[in-house]
Structure 1
Amino acid sequence: MFDLVKWCLVISYYYGRFTGVLNFEIDFKTGRARVTKKATICSAFAHLIMLILMGVQMANVRIMARLWNKANSLHSNMFWVMSCVRMTGVFLSLVNRWSQRRTFISLYNSIYSLYQHDPKIIQYCRRSIVSKCFCATIYETLQIIIVLVLTSKQLTISLAFSIWFIMSLTSIINVIITQYFTAIALIRGRYRLLNKELRSILGETQSLMPNKSGVFVTKCCYLADELENISRAQSSLQALTERLSKAYRLQVICMSITYYLNLVGNVYLLFSINKYTSITENWPNIVKVIGLVFLVFYYLDCWLNSLNVFYLIDAHGNMAKLLSYRTHFQPGLDERLETVFENFNLNLARNPFKLSFYGLFEINRSSSFAVGNSILTHSIVLIQYDLQHF
């Protein structure tokens, strides 16, 4: 049977190997990650090529200006700022990959163990993983098509190297974000499965008729054992999420800044295309259509990235909400079962679930709303500056 999720993950793995982001190898027979000489050499070679291209790009900073020959100085400055931030972010992310290679191998093995323990978690994140891979592939492909069509008549070797470098940066960013997305999705799938089990335990507990019979005590002990297993699994999941956040914090910050600038730049670009019609007067109509489709998929991809994290936070919140229903139980339950419920609830209260990076920001709906307002504000500032000076 064709497994779309499996193929998405396999393609993502080989794409990561090709770009050098994955500097270790996965044994498909055992599913375990390991350091090999082949993986190290391939990744180091890919990064060496990337550094050479980066040097070529920095040494020929005016080459890409050909694409902006009808733009004003604000467009050019914005383009170069975004390019420099992209290069810096990717460079720091790749350095982080090498300095924490053992950490990422350990993380992969821990996340694979989640799937190995209960493959049903894929059912709860299948749509998210497939949608993410589809959107990322489509908008990256469309970006390549647009650039190739626009530069087909003025393509030179230097310009081709610059384009290849920019496309490589996009690929590396996509690989990093997709890996983080997949890890969060699998953790969320495990959370949802635990919530399903917890809901079942709550239903059985609520149907109990308190008495001192042996059947009642045995049932309470069984439910207490099951609840303790869920509590331990939740604690391990939260610890794994914290490890994941710690390992990816530098990369997430770099990618977040890149996405932020891209979103602001896209808003300003749409305004500029409407104001400066000379920029697009020689563009084929097919490029304009593809450009609009590209923006749709790009924003959809950003939305999926955000929803993936929000759904994980919601899954943890649902667990805490389910535990609050214990107040509806009939009095007289087994003391051990009551104690397990109380300890589970206290553990969740003492260890709130947060995704924080270097203490700079916490990912949640409130912060995303603030970021959205900031993107809108900075886009308006750019537009106002353009109206006043050009």
Structure 2
Amino acid sequence: MSEASIRIIASPESWIEQAAIDQLHHTAQLEGIDRVVGLPDLHAGRGIAVGAAFWSRTHVYPHLVGSDIGCGMALWRCALPLRKFRLDAAERKLRGLESPWSGDHAGRLDEAGLPSNLLGNALGTIGGGNHFAEVLRIDTAMDAVAFAGLGLDPAAVYLMVHSGSRGLGHAILERHMVRHNVTGLVAGEEACVDYLVEHDQAMRWATLNRAVIAERFFDRLGTTGERLLDICHNSVTSHRAGWLHRKGAAPADKGLIVIPGSRGDMTYLVRPRDDPGDLALQSLAHGAGRKWSRSEARDKLVRRFSISDLERTSLGSRVICEDRDLIYEEAPQAYKDIHQVVRDLEQAGLVDPVATLRPLLTYKTRRP
């Protein structure tokens, strides 16, 4: 069986671990996979490289999307002026967000065109792993014309939410794996159609989940917000008479995207450029990408830093994470340099940076 073409978009200054490259080559050997692209945030995942896109003319592979179907990043501009934001007060107010949302689950699901009983108890919750909600402010505008044209306000507070379909996507993938394991689904056949119906439901659920999370944060902070963007980075979509799988890869054909660094670094707001040759499969990095695995991060950092050290960042922001293991696993040191990732994308002709946003407060989890 021939191997699909593989393109890795990264400069010599960027370190890409061999394990991630090996995973790309393994995926390139799957039946029907025609093209594989690795982005600058590429890193090894659980059998599948993260920060990659995979295109097939004939097959859909659910395990290339993974269990968190619809996971993505959304950004809101808050009505709260930056001059009125108080970090200590915000840290005190942001509590109880792990408990189920007390709103109208059935009504919101129905409005989104979803079954009214579809995993309602999890709606409005962030989840674990690398998911978070973050309060930010504008740090630097690189493109003054684009910045002004987008209506961005340097005097405003912003909220970014990174979450997905929670247990729904996991259940969908588990059902598929029991029936088909990692065998590809032939496009158009019943099994593929059934998966895509569930996949699209999980996508809508994830988008709604990010919106409800934002509403909960606004309620705690006493403000409202306007959503500027919502971009998914785990999905499979039709693309050029085939099927494009993105695993930790942001779309380049949906307008502005945010590319966050670690929880102690900047987030970039970028404008994708046209890619007429489809060299990157219309995909971009979705973040900084891991430098160390979770176990490596714990082992390397637990002897060097206390939990209180990691609750404050070099940028002066704060991190709320009351899970001892998670705060080490998600420490800034465990991630690659976001500035290098964005430089790689810019040098490849894929993006124009518009602005950077500086974190003020990152929320991951509190004990119920």
- Structure number with the higher strand fraction is 2
Shared fold, TM over 0.5: no
Higher Cα Rg, which structure: 1
Task: Judging by fraction of residues, say which structure has more helix.
Answer: 1
TM bucket (normalised to shorter chain) is under 0.3
So what's the TM-score if we normalise by structure 1?
0.22
- TM-score normalised per structure 2: 0.23
